[in-house]
Amino acid sequence: MTHLTELERFLAETLQVSTIADYAPNGVQVRGRDSVERVVGGVSACMDLFRAADQVAADLILVHHGMFWNKDSRVVEGNLKARLSFLLSRELSLMAYHLPLDRHAEYGNNAMILKHLNLKPIAPFGLYHGTHLSFLGENGSGGTFDELVVRVRQVFGGEPLILPFGPERVRVVAVCSGAAPELVREAKEAGADLFLSGEAAEPLYHFAREERIHVIAAGHHRTEKFGVQAIGALLAKQFGIEFRFIDIPNPI
C-alpha cells in the first residue's frame, strides 16, 4: 500500500514537471482515497475508462490527457460534472501528465516510439517554449520507406495516413507524438527524411510533396499509449503496487 502523495512526489521528480510550461495541470487532478494499491492507466480521461477502473476496484487512474485544460470554461457542468461526480462518489483519484510524459527521455511517448521502431535517438527535436519534446531518430538499418511503413503498422496498429513524398531510403526520422503537424517544417530543416506524428493537417500534403519529405500520421491516441504504460510499469516496480493499462479505443 502506498500513499497518494508519495506517488505524486515521485512522478513530479521523475518527469521533471516543474521544468516545462504546459497548458494543463500535471499531477493530481482529483484527490480520492489516500492509499493506493491498484492503478489503472489509460490515454485519456473519459467515462469509459473511469467505469473500467471502478470495475477492477482501482484506487487511482493515471492518464496522459486529463480533465482540465487552460482554455476550458471554469463552469462545472455537462460531462465534466458527470465525470467529477463519478470519481468523487467512488473516491477514485485521477492523475494526469501531459507534456512531461511526451518528452521524457526514457519513459516518454516519443522515447518509447523510437524504441519500438528501432530508431536511435541522435538529436533533440520538437521545440516548444524553449524545450524540446522529442528526438530525431536514426534508422540504423538504412531501410526503405516501405519497410519502415510495415514497422509503423506493426507498432501502432490501425491504418496510418501516409504521404510518401520523400526518398526511397530513410536515414533520419523526426518523431513527435499526438498533434504536432506544424513540426514538419522543423523536421525538414533538421534533415529528416520522414516526419511521424499522430495527427495531420491540410497544409501537410503540399508541404511534404513540394519539400520531398515523407509524412506519417499514425493516430493521436495510438502514438500516446506508450508513455502511460512505461511510467505505470515503473510505479509497479518502485512501489510494489498493481498497474493495469486499459485501452479505450479512439480512432483519432
For 123-142, what is each residue's pLDDT tens digit?
Answer: 999 999 899 999 999 998 77
Q: In total, how many domains does the chain have?
A: 2
Is residue 77 domain-shared with residue 7, that is, in the same domain?
A: yes
> What domain range includes position 22?
2-98+225-245
Contact 22, 12 (CB under 8 A): no
Mean pLDDT of 13-39: 97
Is residue 108 domain-shared with residue 186, that is, in the same domain?
A: yes
Domain membership of residue 121 (yes or no) is: yes
Model pLDDT, residue 140: 87
Domain membership of residue 250 (yes or no) is: no
Model pLDDT, residue 153: 97
C-alpha triplet 247, 249, 252: angle, nearest 5°: 130
Is residue 67 domain-shared with residue 124, that is, in the same domain?
A: no
Is residue 92 domain-shared with residue 44, that is, in the same domain?
A: yes
Model pLDDT, residue 217: 98
Domain membership of residue 184 (yes or no) is: yes
pTM: 0.96
C-alpha cell at 24: 494543463
Is residue 33 domain-shared with residue 64, that is, in the same domain?
A: yes
Is residue 212 domain-shared with residue 232, that is, in the same domain?
A: no
Model pLDDT, residue 157: 95
pLDDT tens sequence across 84-122: 999 999 999 999 999 999 999 999 999 999 999 999 999
Cell numbers 482540465: residue: 68
The whole-angstrom separation of Cα 99 and Cα 21 is 8
Is residue 19 domain-shared with residue 52, that is, in the same domain?
A: yes
- Percent of the chain past pLDDT 70, that is, above it, reads 100
Domain membership of residue 164 (yes or no) is: yes
Is residue 110 domain-shared with residue 69, that is, in the same domain?
A: no
When the pLDDT of each residue in the chain is averaged and rounded to a whole number, the result is: 97
Measure Cα distances from 229 to 8, 21, 152, 214 in Å. 17, 23, 18, 28
Say if residue 81's pLDDT is above 90.
Answer: yes
Model pLDDT, residue 96: 98
Is residue 162 domain-shared with residue 72, that is, in the same domain?
A: no
Mean pLDDT of 49-76: 97
Model pLDDT, residue 142: 76
State the DSSP code for 169.
Answer: B
Domain membership of residue 42 (yes or no) is: yes
Domain membership of residue 59 (yes or no) is: yes
Is residue 75 domain-shared with residue 113, that is, in the same domain?
A: no
Domain membership of residue 203 (yes or no) is: yes
pLDDT tens sequence across 127-180: 998 999 999 999 987 799 999 999 999 999 999 999 999 999 999 999 999 999
The whole-angstrom separation of Cα 176 and Cα 167 is 20
Domain membership of residue 85 (yes or no) is: yes
Is residue 80 domain-shared with residue 126, that is, in the same domain?
A: no
Contact 148, 173 (CB under 8 A): yes
CATH number at residue 155: 3.40.1390.30
pLDDT band with cut points at 50, 70 and 90 for residue 74: very high
Model pLDDT, residue 1: 83
The whole-angstrom separation of Cα 134 and Cα 123 is 9
Is residue 53 domain-shared with residue 149, that is, in the same domain?
A: no
Model pLDDT, residue 99: 98
Mean pLDDT of 220-248: 98
The alpha carbon of 136 is separated from its chain's Cα centroid by a whole number of angstroms, namely 17
